[in-house]
Structure 1
Amino acid sequence: MTVTRHPTRTSSLPQATLARAVLWAALAVNVLIVWVMFFAAPPSKNGVLAAGKFIGLHAALLIFLQLILVARVPWLDRRIGMDRLTSWHRWVGFTLFWALVTHAMLIVAGFSVLDKVSPFKTYAALAGVPASLIGMLALFLMMVAVAASIRAARRRVQYETWHAIHLVLYFALALALVHQFLEGTTFRTSALTTAYWWTLWVFAVGAFLTGRVIMPLWRNSRHQLRVAAVVPESDNTVSVHVTGRRLDEMPALAGQFMIWRFPGFRSWWQVNPFSLSAAPDGRSLRLTAKAVGTGSAGLRDLPVGTRVFAEGPYGAFTALQRTRETTLLIAGGIGVTPIRALLDDPTLTGDIVVLYRVHTEADAVLLAEMRAIAATRGARLHLLTGRTGPGNQPLSPDGLRALVPDITERDVYVCGPNAMTNAVLASLRTLGVPRRQVHAERFALAS
């Protein structure tokens, strides 16, 4: 069986920089096109309506950007990473929400001035127009999704619950597109304008459906994944081994993650993102999870033979991001899973140093495996234990410099709890490690 290997990238232009440049350049070009079409169109009946339509056009562009950011386009995902795309998706979502609110208020105010009636009567009248009513419903549903995405709310609900609520956003976006289609005064002013918006609709919706529906269904039908073994790693951590057909043809890389469902054992809505905890070998896949919620805690009871539905692989936390010949891998807690996979990745060549931060050695899951791999590869593995405090700050700038004197000459991969990751990133900035050499994986996911 032949396993497809991907060459390590150490090019002068970081892949993430190239992808960001392409994405934002495409957005800038489309903003310019919208401006040209807006000012070339017949004037609105008053300035307030014109402002409302101008904001509405930009809101339409933000909808398309939202779809692209979560379409899981492989070219973007492997270069930027879903964690960063997720962060952009979140902030674009809030921007879109306020753009739609502003658009709605200006439209109501514009017609109120035009008809010389109160805004409340204008609002009621617009609610009787199908296009406007659909837009109002889209805005209301978006308010629900935005409320569920506020950090204070996110902390109060389980991931699975938030995931289900967040799906409302896609229905809201679909209604917004219908509203745009029915509202013809701005979007159908000429054949060129109509062709432009149809092209955007087809491209964005097509990319979303391909990445989120067609590709996952095709891959799962092709690979027929099933649970092969469930192995407890500690009192609260378990590894699940998955096998299937033609796994050597799955484009999975060490450091990536997949979104896992176990239909028949759990409901379809219970979905979790877990990193691959071993480098793909073409025969099996492995995920390792810590029991931090009902979803991950239940994996210990998975029966062998359970069907698996997996989306992915996703993520840019791979050897493709390398810019240097030597590497530092830093893991904290269960964030060790993609680090362990990278350590075993044959495409990650050169001198490798691993820092594994845990409270006690008993918390260091997969430690025996990592020591064996490090010994085979000639890598240096440092287990960093104990509570952080005076006299024990291994991830501080001084601590990192003492452990890895040539740290500024290495690519640095960091994965762990947010507090640890933030502390390490701050230390790397203090040490002067170039930003292009720093690769961080955060536990974040947008649906």
Structure 2
Amino acid sequence: MTTSLAPTAPLAVRRVPRPVPRWWREASELLLWALLVAVTGLWSAHGGFQELGSLGGALTSTGRLAGLVASALILVQVLLMARVPWFEQAWGQDELARTHRLVGFTSFTLMVGHVVLIVLGYAAASPRGLWGTLVDLVVNYPGMLLAVAGTLALGMVVVTSVKKARARLRYESWHLIHLYAYLGAGLALPHQLWTGSDFTASTTATVLWWSLYAVSLGAVLAFRIGVPVWRSLRAPLRVVDVRRDGPEVTTVTVGGPGVARIPARAGQFFQWRFVGEDGWTRAHPYSLSAAPDGHTLRFTAAHVGDGSSALAGLRPGTRVLVEGPYGRLHEGVRSRRKVLLMGSGIGITPMRALLEELDQDPGDVTVLHRVSAADDAVLAGELADLARTRGASYVLVDGPRIPGRVSWLPRAAQHLTDVEGLRHVVPDVAERDVYLCGSPGWMAAARTAVLAAGAAPEQVHLERFAY
């Protein structure tokens, strides 16, 4: 069934963005290390080493350093969650998510260490004992109750970010809980400014920490709230077509005058909200399944949760809010003329958009479409037609998984190694850029096979969307 509200405006000339240079990633890494060095330097300048002479002083001073580094990393976490386009486009969704997780667990571990060391250090120099000191710190020191609440909020985020815990949560629930990271960071601020001597010991320290908080807050307000709202008010976007592409798959097309102003490329994704629908305040990431044409944006999603299942009931004319575009799965990262596009399941959707947009001559592009059953091949007809039109090769690899083996191949090809199977389909895979999208396990197996077949790591481009 298809419902549509066909646009009547003429096609606009769309903006094609230049890719963010890879060196931006190295520059952001350098800034992170410079921040940690500056924080450690200020701790040293404010007597950090001088206090190591006694047990109580050593515990307290080490706890101060742990707290300072934890605070800096929490603010880095906020920046990573703020969807700053330059960071996101330089790192890509996959690497940014892994960095976000690593920094998050590290900052929380240091924060717990800060609490334990400070309490032990104060108790070593106090007649109240351990529990008396703990109660005194929480009840009588300014901002400490707020800091306890902030620690609990951050602890909830960390616990639900553990792999086994995430697997038990729906995306909508996990996303809502994850927003408490902002609350945790905000509740810690009064404690740091009121009782943290390292924050107020010098003008340099005060300027540094206030600047870090201002930049973090400004990034969230600008890119999580300001840009989407401004874009929506300036040039509204609306649903123009809703199409069922299978029992559990829906394709949505969005149009409006604002599309031409969005610098999107095939292969990228957006965070989508549909105003007025249930749960519209929570954004959902969907990749473009058609190349942007300056007039419409289109995505295709499998029904895997409440948000994606509700797409089938969208009505033409529904107001749309978008954040993005995000991701480095686009032509701007291409380094070779020949390209292999590998997608499994719903992960084929950005490959379909790339096939449409990539600059190519006949024979340059091969599309490898992995599905459990041929009837489940999303957009197979469109892919086959596009491949014929553009002179590309389209290979559908169907069949159930190989039991007891992590592989990208189907059971019918279990007599082959993953590399043999890949070279059978694409003999010159080592000479191609390879774009991957699918389930995490399948992508890991496919990437391993591509590298073992002779491709260099910089030739492989992928996005993971597992939360």
For 1:183 and 1:268, the matched residues in 2 are separated by 40
Task: Give the equivalent residue in structure 1 for 2:273.
Answer: 261
Which of these residues, 373, 391, 396, is aligned with residue 378 of structure 1?
391
Please give the TM-score of this superposition, normalised by the length of structure 2: 0.90
Letter in 1 for 2:349: T
Q: Which fold has the larger relative contact order, with Cα–Cα distance below 8 Å and residues 6 or more apart in sequence? A: 1
Query: What 5-or-longer segments of structure 1 have no aligned partner?
Result: none
Q: In the alignment, does 2:45 pair up with 1:40?
A: yes
Distance 1:56 1:121, change over 3 A: same
For 2:342 and 2:192, the matched residues in 1 are separated by 48
For 2:194 and 2:275, the matched residues in 1 are separated by 39
Cα displacement string for residues 53-97 of structure 1 (whole angstroms, at most 9, x for unaligned residues): 011111111012102211212112112112321221122111111
Task: Give the equivalent residue in structure 1 for 2:96.
Answer: 85
For 1:406 and 1:159, the matched residues in 2 are separated by 39
Task: Give the equivalent residue in structure 2 for 1:361.
Answer: 374
- 1:58-97 correspondence runs (5 A): 58-97=69-108
When structure 1 is superposed on structure 2, of 235-244 and 70-79 the one drifting more is 70-79
For 1:391 and 1:169, the matched residues in 2 are separated by 46
- 1:267-282 correspondence runs (5 A): 267-282=279-294
For 1:277 and 1:412, the matched residues in 2 are separated by 18
Query: What 5-or-longer segments of structure 2 have no aligned partner?
Result: 1-11, 403-410
Q: In the alignment, does 2:320 pair up with 1:299?
A: no
Contact 2:279 2:307 in 1 (8 A): no
For 2:15 and 2:124, the matched residues in 1 are separated by 65
Task: Give the equivalent residue in structure 1 for 2:406.
Answer: none
SS at match of 1:382: strand
Letter in 1 for 2:46: A
Task: Give the equivalent residue in structure 2 for 1:21.
Answer: 26
Cα displacement string for residues 19-39 of structure 1 (whole angstroms, at most 9, x for unaligned residues): 331122111111221222111
SS at match of 1:3: coil
Distance 1:117 1:46, change over 3 A: same
CA-based RMSD? 1.9
Which of these residues, 236, 242, 246, is aligned with residue 224 of structure 1?
236
Letter in 1 for 2:375: A
Q: In the alignment, does 2:60 pair up with 1:49?
A: yes
Task: Give the equivalent residue in structure 1 for 2:109.
Answer: 98
When structure 1 is superposed on structure 2, of 214-223 and 325-334 the one drifting more is 214-223
Q: In the alignment, does 2:179 pair up with 1:174?
A: no
Distance 1:319 1:177, change over 3 A: farther
Shift of 1:422: 1.1
- 1:224-263 correspondence runs (5 A): 224-263=236-275
Contact 1:5 1:347 in 2 (8 A): no
For 1:174 and 1:270, the matched residues in 2 are separated by 21
Contact 1:319 1:348 in 2 (8 A): no
For 1:315 and 1:395, the matched residues in 2 are separated by 31
Shift of 1:5: 2.7
Shift of 1:233: 0.8
Q: In the alignment, does 2:217 pair up with 1:212?
A: no
Cα displacement string for residues 228-273 of structure 1 (whole angstroms, at most 9, x for unaligned residues): 1111111211101111113111111111111111121213344321
Letter in 1 for 2:378: V
Shift of 1:347: 4.5
Letter in 2 for 1:115: S
Q: How many residues align?
A: 439
Please give the TM-score of this superposition, normalised by the length of structure 1: 0.93
Question: Taking every aligned residue pair, what percent have the same amino acid on both sides?
Answer: 38
Letter in 1 for 2:85: P
Task: Give the equivalent residue in structure 2 for 1:126.
Answer: 137
Contact 1:342 1:348 in 2 (8 A): no
For 2:456 and 2:381, the matched residues in 1 are separated by 32
For 1:395 and 1:227, the matched residues in 2 are separated by 45
